Every structure is written in structure tokens, then in C-alpha cells.
Amino acid sequence: MVLSAIKTAVEELVAERGSERVTIPMVAERAGVNPTSVYRRWGDASTMINDIATYRLDPGRPLPKGDDLRTLLTEWADEIIRHYSDPVHAAILRGGAASAGQSQSDCLRNRRAEAGMLVQQAAPVPGITVERVIDHIVAPIVYRVIFIPDSLDETLAPRLVAELFD
């Protein structure tokens, strides 16, 4: 299928060269596809990358279930960290960051929606709001993914959650 070949090519190239250095002819060649097809679908490289970024980041995956917010958040954060530990996904997120603020391209909005669902679904904990989850769980993870990717490890999720709760 054409689209999945393109998707793979984009991911590889963004990881190899950074989102700013990926061009449509490059993607087309690697995907074994005619550049025209890519141009017609997206118009230019940055909308293509952003589209694929949000596509990839929002699989309809199930959220952790349960009552204990602390456990829920730890599992959820850990899954996000594992996801972005893949350099390909990290690179795609950087591409998403570049086009954020532009038009309506925010590849993380679904993560924020997830945070809201978790906080609502669990037994309420005084002082734990969606905003604080964003600021103290999501933001540190995303910051590290983008700027200091080597600092991601399996201790991060429990630590951030602990720092939020205690």
C-alpha cells in the first residue's frame, strides 16, 4: 500500500535527518512512489510530517483501567515514555513541535484528553487536577524526549508521579 510505505519512509527519514531536512522527493524515492502522489496528498513536507505525526501518536490504544489514580497515572506515563524512547517517535514528536502553534496542529492534544479521562474515571484525589498532570507528568516527559532524550528511563514515571502526589 502506498500510504503505509510513505509513512514508514517519513519516519525513517525524520529520524535520520531531522524533520526540517526531509523533502518530498526524498520520501517518495524511499517509499518507491511517485513524488506527484505525495504532493497531491499533502502539498508540502511540513503538513505531511505533521499529519503522520498525529496519526502515529494516536493509535486507538486502550487506556489503563482501575480506580487508583496513582497506579493509573504511573502506567500511563510509563507507556508514553516507552513509546518515545524509540528515536523514531522522538524525532516525529520534534517535528510536531515545530509545526505546533501553526494553524491547528497539535499532535499532543489527545494525550491531554487521555489525562482528563484518567483523572475523571479514577477515585478523585484532592489537589490532583488535569492541569497538574499536564504540568508535572506530561510536560517533563515531553521536554526530555525533545531536548534530552538520553534521560528517559524506567524510573522516570514512578518518580514524576511520586513528586506529584507527595
Partner DNA sequence: GGGTTAATGCAAACATTGTTGCGTTAGACT
Partner DNA sequence: AGTCTAACGCAACAATGTTTGCATTAACCC
Q: Which three cell numbers stand for residue 57?
A: 501518536
Exactly one of 13, 19, 53, 78 binds a copy of itself (CB under 8 A); which one? 19
Exactly one of 6, 157, 160, 161 binds a copy of itself (CB under 8 A); which one? 160
Minimum CB–partner distance for residue 1 and a copy of itself (Å): 26
The closest alpha carbon to 107, from 120, 121, 95, belongs to 95
Minimum CB–partner distance for residue 55 and DNA (Å): 14
d(CA 107, CA 112): 10
Q: Write the interaction track for a copy of itself spanning residues 31-70; mark x where CB under 8 A is met and - where it is not.
A: -------------xxx--x---------------------
Q: Which is nearer to a copy of itself, 2 or 113 (CB)?
A: 113
Residues 91-150 that bind a copy of itself (CB under 8 A): 91, 94-95, 97-102, 106, 108, 132, 134-136, 138-140, 142-144, 146-149
Tally of CB atoms within 10 A around 144? 18
